[in-house]
Chains A and B, each alone.
Chain A
């Protein structure tokens, strides 16, 4: 049985990890853009992410992704080593985002089982050209070394050295040993030594030098005392090498001798330290902080390890397992109830048993709460994704706006997150496309140049409220009314519709006041899809607006998988459950309180207010003996400021219930109004959960 759950193939893990990395990368890029510059930590992290993606993609044989990641790595390697003030940051960002988008698309294809056949060559070319341009501006180590170094960074501890891979020619003819002494007082010997090495790079291979580390200033002393020793192989002859070396500035003395291959190998074997020329800290002073080198090597290895073992103690769990766990916890609650309320125990004196039962109850409740909270995921990731959208759309539409996020720590169930991500994207796009005006218009209207879109999430009672608010030009009441009339979507006369109802018209399918269709909107499809998506998870959409000041769209989402407090009621032989939160009061009416109006609707007066009565047995056609109001019970429920009185046979009891949705067969068949789901009671029987909102609106229509 456990085999079903250990099916996480390598591919699943790869897709999951890569998606996480891409998200992190996007976030990083957006932050860097905001700060208009790439800090060294950012560059390092971006480099690391690209490196991980490259490696894992290559392993999974997705060579296109791997190649793209490689070229992006190159780009950032360049930035790491060079002066990044020169580089055009926004162009780099665009390149990176293009790369991210490409990889995202490929991952989508992989997820859906289609072959990842995208072609990144155009993008890779662009990156290569850009890198070349960068290099021509500044003194850089050339690509050959870059490649070699990039490969060595992955595997730091290496006893054998790596020869310059560019050198595909015949083995070099000569091997030399050189010792250079610099003039007294010339200072910064290590830098001079570095430039010597640099000059030799092109014409030599297998270059060693002592001291190994010429980055750290400490090596200057070493060089001053002992001179700078080098060993290398090359095709050039003695004279040419001597000429090159003599060009070194402040060179006091050069000792150059040719050695044979065996000696060369002996020397190479004696060196137990890996061959490392300047990694990232090539030129001191590029990055603000100077790290001590032996320490750096080690911390670099640590930082190279994949992200998942790094930051927080987070575990990724298969959702199917969580679902199963939730079901089991639900069953455990029922089983516990069956034990404690067992008819065999009725009437017995059981003080110790009761105490033990109470403890069991407490622990079970805690497990229940824990499991519920495991499924809850904070909205942070979803909200952060919106940042990217705002940025992209601002660029495309040439508007200026910023995104303010409030309450992203609010947690919702994992199911919900999947269903609100798309609607939210649509709403943010709408806010930018329709709502926020261009910078000039805003200034003319006396508003700040930058539009603000606020994404807010907060939990209220058993719902989570997510608001998308913009300070743009608001909805145009008249336009909407006219369009609706044109399409024949409204029947009541205008004066009957409140502002809210008018604004909510935009949620109807096919509704749009836009005259022409753009890439982003105008077809009248979006809001309808949003409304439907939210309805699927049992939520609702409310649109509100003030002309010229902005629009607010609120998504109200119930905590569907919450363990809600429910009140069980009985009608005939059927049991129903009402969420306790919506119950205002319950009572047995007196004979004279109820009356019938001319249309046959029954009503009841409570403290001066009149409420309609819903007879559950009539509504659902259930056979019951209790017809008279004075024999049953009236429960007043409220939803969205509207109230209704429900007539049932009796109240059975209150308990915590786990909401289960109705089986798919029934849901597909027909949406039964007034039923939100079902739940299992203590004795194993099923009770149907009433959807108060549905009952109220259904009733009003009738």
Chain B
């Protein structure tokens, strides 16, 4: 009996594990693990909050809940772009912190098995490498898998750098 329960437990995890949501910023496409994603919404009015770094755009009202939004383009130090009706906000929830990621477009959810995931090359030049946890091979394409925690937390090191 116990192993049946164990098995179903594993099954449940499997449905979310290894599944990634792909989105694109400019010409590059990135993916994040689906288990962090709570919803995807279209861009809506953002209320600015002063004294925050430029990539934290402000807050939005999501059905009564107030959620901060981060522009991933600016986070990755790319050129900012005007928001259009294809711009999406991916709402993720990590360790009880909700935040919305503003991205250019959202593509699809794909399953990447473990064996197709490799570590990223150790290049220190590109800024966005910091946030890339691993690289997944899908057919002929290469998807950069983003480490969500780094997205949220690497701020301190950054602000130090800015000060210096």
Contact = CB atoms under 8 A, between A and B. Distances in A.
Chain A complexes with chain B: yes
Interface of A: 327-328, 330-331, 334, 574-575, 619-622, 660, 662-666, 668-670, 672-673, 675, 678, 680, 684-688
Contact of B64 (A334, A622, A668): A334
A574 B46 CA distance: 10
B98 A663 contact: yes
A665 B57 CA distance: 13
Interface of B: 45, 47-52, 56, 59-61, 63-68, 96-99, 152, 155
B139 to A, nearest CB: 36
A676 to B, nearest CB: 13
A409 B130 CA distance: 55
A327 B68 contact: no
B162 to A, nearest CB: 13
Given A665-B97, A678-B66, A688 B47 contact: yes
A666 B52 contact: yes
27 contacts: A328-B64, A331-B64, A334-B64, A575-B47, A619-B50, A620-B50, A621-B50, A660-B66, A663-B59, A663-B66, A663-B67, A663-B68, A664-B97, A666-B49, A666-B56, A666-B59, A670-B52, A672-B49, A672-B50, A673-B51, A678-B66, A680-B64, A685-B45, A686-B59, A686-B66, A687-B47, A688-B49
Contacts of B155: 669
B50 A327 contact: no
Contact of A664 (B47, B60, B96): B96
**Which 10 A-B residue pairs are closest in the complex by CB-CB distance?**
A620-B50, A686-B47, A331-B64, A663-B68, A665-B68, A672-B51, A665-B97, A665-B99, A666-B68, A664-B97
A622 B45 contact: no
Contact of B65 (A327, A621, A670): A327
Contacts of B50: 619-622, 672
A620 B51 contact: yes
Contacts of A680: 61, 64, 66
A665 B63 CA distance: 18
A303 to B, nearest CB: 44
B130 to A, nearest CB: 18
A685 B47 contact: yes
A669 B63 CA distance: 24
B47 to A, nearest CB: 4
Contacts of B67: 663
A512 B152 CA distance: 38
B51 A678 contact: no
Contact of A678 (B45, B47, B52): B47
B52 A327 contact: no
Contacts of A620: 50-51
A668 B152 CA distance: 11
Contacts of A686: 47, 59-61, 66
B106 to A, nearest CB: 21
A574 B50 CA distance: 10
Contacts of A622: 48, 50
A331 B63 contact: yes
Nearest to A673: B51
Contacts of B47: 574-575, 678, 685-688
Nearest to A681: B61
B45 A665 contact: no
Contacts of A684: 61
Given A327-B64, A574-B48, A678-B59, 6 more contacts: A662-B49, A663-B97, A666-B59, A668-B97, A672-B52, A675-B49
A662 B59 contact: yes
B49 to A, nearest CB: 7
A663 B99 CA distance: 9
A575 B61 CA distance: 14
A327 B97 CA distance: 18
Contacts of A331: 63-64
Max count, chain A CB within 10 A of own CB: residue among B61, B99, B152: B61
Contacts of A328: 64
Nearest to B60: A686
B152 to A, nearest CB: 7
A670 B49 CA distance: 12
Contacts of A660: 66
Contacts of B49: 662, 666, 672, 675, 688
B59 to A, nearest CB: 6
B61 A685 contact: yes
A361 to B, nearest CB: 19
Nearest to B44: A684
A411 B155 CA distance: 40
Nearest to A326: B64
Max count, chain A CB within 10 A of own CB: residue among B51, B60, B63: B51
Contacts of B96: 664
Contacts of B97: 663-665, 668
A330 B45 contact: no
Nearest to B47: A686
A620 B48 CA distance: 10
A646 B46 CA distance: 24
Given A669-B155, A685-B61, A662 B66 contact: yes
Contacts of A664: 96-97
A327 B152 CA distance: 26
Nearest to A675: B49
Contacts of B66: 660, 662-663, 678, 680, 686
Contacts of B64: 327-328, 330-331, 334, 680
B51 A670 contact: yes
A535 to B, nearest CB: 19
Nearest to A672: B51
Max count, chain A CB within 10 A of own CB: residue among B64, B68, B155: B64
B24 to A, nearest CB: 24
Contacts of A574: 47-48
Nearest to B156: A669
A680 B62 CA distance: 11
Nearest to A327: B64
Contacts of B63: 331
A330 B152 CA distance: 29
A644 B66 CA distance: 29
A214 to B, nearest CB: 56
B35 to A, nearest CB: 18
A680 B77 CA distance: 32
Max count, chain A CB within 10 A of own CB: residue among B47, B49, B63, B65: B49
A665 B155 CA distance: 11
A669 B59 contact: no
Contacts of A334: 64
A426 B98 CA distance: 35
A686 B45 CA distance: 9
